Amino acid sequence: MNSIWTMIKEIIIPHRKGNIRLNPEFVMLEDAHIQAFLLGTDYPKELLNEFREVQFSTTLTSKQKISLLKILRKNRPVFAFFKEPLGKIRGHDIELYLDVKRPYPPMLRRPPYPESLEMGITTPVLITWHDGKPGSFGDLSALNNYTQADRHPKQRIPHALDKLAKAKYITNRNCMKGFHKNGVKPNSMKLLRIICHMGRYEYTRMPFSIKNAPAHFQGMMDTIFQEEILEGWMVVYIYDIIIYSKTWEDHVQEIDRVLSKCTAINLKISL
């Protein structure tokens, strides 16, 4: 059987005369199934997350799956796994510009939450995403009303579908945590203050609830992957990356090229 994935995992075995530290290498073999691991209370859960199954198309052959897994293994740092840091895209912090001058309108001066929140009468509401994951958002509607708009255009869906219709192989992944991968420039942090029952906070990463977030992220991705987009085998819609090809050999090479560029700018991809 062929090796398609490896991982080195530190194991500490407690002992009264001193702990024993091991660094074994775990190997995943083609067509092999892991029955059980017995390495202590926390290790099985962590290993399962590291070795979670990658979803492949049922039309791929075993040889194609192996070649794709080798590319994923080569670009391991670009994927976000269990308990790993979010990371931050280099050189693309957002800066906000107001279209009003001092003195600021009352809506920009007053706290975004009423006093009833601090008194425990109300509480923040969690919004459920389409994938079932919860998310909380600060009320930045007042800021959005007075922020200069970034009008960078998004990819037109009909145009993208027309490109994909001609492809035989398609890979689609999204950037993990999307807008939170961008930092906020220091002079804009004061505009992103949120007051809640737990205190006052400032966003250090670009929040989802500001109106320029989609345009900023789309513009950044169009700049980073300009060459790949112009070559006609990649589509970017905000934080969704789509790679499409007519041959498998080209597809694997193009995936490797995109992942390598993501690694260079510290852009994490959901696996």
Helix or strand run (H / E) with residue 109: helix 106-109
CB atoms within 10 A of CB 255: 21
pTM, to two decimals: 0.64
Average the pLDDT over 47-76 and give the result.
Answer: 73
Could you report the per-residue pLDDT of 165-209, keeping only the tens digit for each? 989 999 988 887 777 778 888 887 777 777 666 667 777 888 877
**Nearest-angstrom CA–CA distance, 140 and 144:** 6
Q: Residue 26, CB half-sphere, CA atoms under 13 Å: how many?
A: 19
Phi and psi (nearest 5°) for 184? -120, 130
Closest CA to 223 of 233, 236, 232: 236
Domain 106-265: which CATH number of 3.30.70, 3.40.50, 1.10.357, 1.10.3470: 3.30.70
Sequence spans of domains, the chain: 3-53, 106-265
Q: Which residues contact 260 (CB under 8 A, 6 or more apart)?
A: 75
Distances, alpha carbon 223 to alpha carbons 104, 163, 228, in Å: 34, 20, 10
